[in-house]
């Protein structure tokens, strides 16, 4: 297999067009683009505002089965489908998330797609890109500094220093900073207290930037961040210490979507990157809504499997931004079906049609779940070279029994030429006008019932278990006016249940709620159902050990 090129080798050989030409394809004039070098540009807020009132294109969600170590290829398929739609004559924009530095140097796996379905420049995209994450880090830490400073100078707001709810962030996997004591060293350094760091993608500022419609909305939401509580438990907001204005200033440029291109010179927006557990896991609303004004089709991705990613895309992002998706693509692989059917990772090379059939139950439930939102579904089988004809047929036959279609896609190996059939099917579904999108639950539903609805309808659990303190907390937030917020489930991505080892389509399980957190600025209630890591660590052999600059100054080892 010496002729199989790595993602970075393929990306480096790309024949990129100047970014102004990519913008021109979308009718964006040069003065509305702020180039960052030759192959990246931000789109100005003024141009975006001027698109108001124009008709929207069609919105396609790419989601997936529960991830397995075998790899599914959601981003690869999102990029491939965007190229495929352009190939069949539809003007399409791909919208994906920006990458965090943490996973880049930790476990292998880029954020720009793979094979011949990639966004370029992938090196930039996986590293500093246009500095958005650095801006988010700065805005977040400005607020942290202002909180300690407020207390230092007399604590006029009477913040209970034991109940500060705002940590610090850094865009790095660094377990040493998870739990720290700050302000040591004497009176001049403030009041010592326990604190800690999260990774930047877990910052509420990230979620806020990704859900804001414009700069005004951004400022309002930043002001609504709860930074801590007083002794009487009343919340103290970021606006109470006048942090919102300066934070908005730091985020002014980061709020503008980034335009890049695919390997086939089609436009892609890469913007925002919230965690998919304690946040909603989708690219920014402003990138998606802007893309809808500029293209016939917008293809976007949601993180994790459809039980988390698609549910949050529909119930949080679409609900809040008034988006109406026209079709959904569920990515599955024969390898993942096999793993769901009990095959070990090392044995995936051997044909096992029976295991594929068994593992299809996981896919089947996702298909039926997505239909519950009223959105038409097609399954994309992301082809791996080890797949056999009989295994592929088994997946297709199974999906047919659900009244849907599974289409074999070879975009990873062939680019847009390998995904034409899926592109045509997506067009057929989207243009049929069959989408009757509506979120799973109404705003008015009590918070606990929202959790139960997701647990029962999407996870197929029997019950949600929560002790009194959790229920009382939810009740208190309802009393304070937060009852209409959607819930943001933080659950393992590997299973429909809260047990990561339970593959397939489990039933009869329960969903224990450990903790609930209010993200008042982002506008959702986070429901924590297991161990959720907001500051990852690095593995014993981090991928950074293989990353270096070669003699020509090219980056090696980055995927």
8, 39, 61, 72: which one binds ligand ADP (CB under 6 A):
72
Position among 23, 103, 115, 359 found at the interface with ligand ADP (CB under 6 A): 115
- Which window, 108-116, 154-162, 180-188, 371-379, contacts ligand ADP (CB under 6 A)? 108-116
Catalytic residue chosen out of the listed positions 135, 276, 287, 505: 276
Total residues in contact with Mg ion, by rule CB under 5 A: 2
Under rule CB under 6 A, residue 74 binds ligand ADP = yes
Considering only residues 5 through 24, tell me which ones interact with ligand ADP, judged by CB under 6 A. 7
Distance CA 289, CA 291 (A): 5
Number of neighbours of residue 184 by Cβ within 10 angstroms: 10
Q: Are strands 327-332 and 297-301 parallel, antiparallel or unpaired?
A: unpaired
Q: Which two tokens stand for residue 75?
A: 């981003």
382 near Mg ion, judged by CB under 5 A: no
- What are the strands, taking DSSP E only, across 51-147? 58-64, 92-96, 113-114, 117-120
Residue 383 within binding range of ligand ADP, rule CB under 6 A: yes
Query: Phi, psi at residue 198, to the nearest 5°?
Result: -115, 165
- Under rule CB under 5 A, residue 104 binds Mg ion: no
Strand 92-96 versus strand 377-382 pairing type: unpaired
- Residue 326: closest CA among 362, 288, 364, 361: 288
Q: Is 521 among the residues that bind ligand ADP (CB under 6 A)?
A: no
Residue among 126, 200, 224, 382 that touches ligand ADP (CB under 6 A): 382
To 10 degrees, the CA torsion angle through 212, 291, 59, 96?
-70
Among 384, 448, 477, 559, the active-site one is 384
15-74 positions binding Mg ion, by CB under 5 A:
74
Report if residue 76 touches ligand ADP, rule: CB under 6 A: yes
Query: Would you give the binding string for Mg ion spanning residues 65-94, x where CB under 5 A is met?
Result: ---------xx-------------------
Among 17, 45, 71, 213, binds ligand ADP (CB under 6 A): 71
Q: How many CB atoms lie within 10 A of CB 385?
A: 10
Asked if 42 is an active-site residue, the reply is no
Q: Does residue 372 carry a catalytic annotation?
A: no
Residue 124 interacting entry, from Mg ion, ligand ADP, none, C-beta within 5 to 8 Å by type? none
Q: Exactly one of 166, 313, 412, 448 is catalytic; name it.
A: 412
Record the tokens describing residue 515, joined without a space: 């903790």
7, interface contact from Mg ion, ligand ADP, none, CB < 5-8 Å by kind:
ligand ADP
Q: Tell me how crowded residue 266 is: count the other CB atoms within 10 A of its CB.
A: 25
* Sequence-distant (≥ 6) Cβ neighbours of residue 400 within 8 angstroms: 406
For ligand ADP, the binding residue among 63, 66, 75, 498 (CB under 6 A) is 75
Helix (H), strand (E) at residue 180: strand 180-182
Question: Could you tell me the CA-to-CA distances from 155 to 79, 237, 247, 435 in Å, in that order?
Answer: 50, 14, 20, 53
Phi first, then psi, for residue 429 (nearest 5°) are: -65, -45
DSSP string, 465-506: E--HHHHHHHHHHIIIIITTSPEEEE--SS-SSS-TT--S--
Judged by beta carbon, residue 8 or residue 32, the one nearer ligand ADP is 8
User: Does residue 153 have an active-site annotation?
Assistant: no
Annotated catalytic residue within 5, 13, 54, 108: 108
**Is 166 in contact with 149 (CB distance < 8 Å)?**
no
Task: Give the x-and-dash track for 406-445 against ligand ADP (CB under 6 A).
Answer: ------x---------------------------------
How many residues belong to the site for ligand ADP (CB under 6 A)?
18
- Residue 103 as a binder of ligand ADP (CB under 6 A): the answer is no
Q: Does 114 bind ligand ADP (CB under 6 A)?
A: yes
Tokens of 259: 């335009």
**Quick one: what does residue 382 bind among ligand ADP, Mg ion, none, with the CB cut-off 5 to 8 Å set by partner type?**
ligand ADP
Is there a catalytic annotation at residue 304? yes
Q: Per rule CB under 6 A, is residue 113 in the interface with ligand ADP?
A: yes
Distance CA 29, CA 502 (A): 52
Write down the catalytic residue from 74, 335, 450, 491.
74
Alpha-carbon gap, residue 558 to 126, rounded angstroms: 8
Q: Is 99 an annotated catalytic residue? A: no
CB of 97 to Mg ion, least distance (A): 7
Contacts to Mg ion by CB under 5 A: 74-75
Catalytic residue ranges: 74, 76, 97, 108, 276, 304, 384, 412
**Footprint of ligand ADP on this chain (CB under 6 A)?**
7, 64, 71-76, 109-110, 113-115, 382-384, 412, 559
């Amino acid at each position: 297999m010496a002729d199989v090129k790595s993602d970075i080798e393929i990306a480096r050989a790309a024949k990129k067009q100047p970014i102004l030409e990519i913008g021109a394809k979308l009718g964006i004039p040069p003065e509305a683009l702020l180039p960052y070098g030759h192959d990246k540009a931000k789109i100005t807020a003024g141009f975006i505002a001027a698109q108001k009132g124009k008709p929207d294109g069609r919105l396609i969600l790419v989601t997936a089965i529960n991830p397995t170590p075998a790899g599914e290829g959601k981003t690869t398929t999102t990029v491939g489908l965007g190229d495929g739609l352009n190939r069949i004559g539809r003007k399409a924009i791909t919208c994906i998330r920006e990458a965090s530095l943490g996973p880049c140097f930790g476990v292998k796996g880029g954020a720009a797609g793979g094979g011949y379905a990639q966004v370029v420049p992938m090196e930039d995209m996986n590293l500093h890109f246009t500095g958005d994450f650095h801006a988010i880090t700065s805005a977040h830490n400005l607020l942290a500094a202002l909180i300690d400073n407020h207390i230092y100078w007399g604590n006029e707001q009477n913040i209970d220093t034991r109940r500060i709810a705002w940590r610090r962030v850094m865009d790095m996997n660094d377990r040493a900073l998870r739990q720290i004591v700050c302000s040591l060293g004497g009176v001049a350094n403030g009041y010592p207290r326990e604190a800690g760091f999260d990774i930047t993608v877990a910052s509420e500022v990230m979620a806020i930037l990704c859900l804001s419609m414009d700069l005004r909305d951004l400022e309002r939401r930043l002001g609504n961040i709860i930074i801590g509580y007083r002794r009487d438990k009343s919340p103290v907001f970021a606006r109470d210490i006048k942090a919102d204005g300066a934070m908005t200033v730091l985020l002014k440029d980061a709020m503008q979507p980034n335009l890049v291109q695919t390997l086939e010179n089609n436009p892609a927006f890469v913007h925002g990157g919230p965690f998919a557990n304690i946040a909603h896991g989708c690219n920014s609303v402003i990138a998606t809504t802007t893309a809808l004004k500029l293209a016939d089709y917008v293809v976007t991705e949601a993180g994790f499997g459809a039980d988390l990613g698609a549910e949050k895309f529909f119930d949080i992002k679409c609900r809040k931004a008034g988006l109406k998706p026209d079709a959904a693509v569920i990515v599955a692989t024969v390898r993942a079906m096999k793993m769901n059917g009990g095959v070990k990772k090392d044995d995936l090379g051997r044909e096992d049609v029976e295991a594929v059939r068994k593992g299809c139950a996981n896919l089947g439930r996702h298909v039926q779940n997505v239909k519950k939102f009223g959105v038409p579904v097609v399954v994309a089988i992301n082809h791996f070279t080890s797949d056999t004809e009989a295994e592929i047929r088994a997946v297709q036959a199974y999906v047919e029994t659900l009244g849907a279609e599974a289409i074999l896609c070879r975009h990873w190996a062939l680019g847009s030429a390998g995904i034409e059939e899926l592109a045509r099917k997506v067009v057929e579904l989207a243009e049929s006008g069959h989408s009757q999108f509506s979120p799973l639950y109404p705003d008015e539903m009590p918070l606990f019932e929202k959790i139960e609805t997701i647990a029962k309808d999407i996870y197929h659990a029997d019950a949600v278990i929560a002790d009194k303190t959790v229920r009382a907390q939810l009740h208190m937030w309802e009393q304070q006016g937060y009852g209409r917020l959607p819930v943001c489930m933080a659950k393992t991505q590997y299973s429909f249940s809260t047990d990561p080892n339970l593959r397939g389509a489990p039933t009869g399980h329960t969903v224990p709620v450990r903790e609930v957190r209010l993200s008042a600025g982002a506008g959702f209630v986070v429901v924590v159902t297991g161990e959720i890591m907001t500051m990852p660590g690095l593995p014993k052999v981090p991928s950074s050990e293989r990353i270096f600059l070669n003699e020509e100054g090219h980056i090696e080892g980055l995927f």
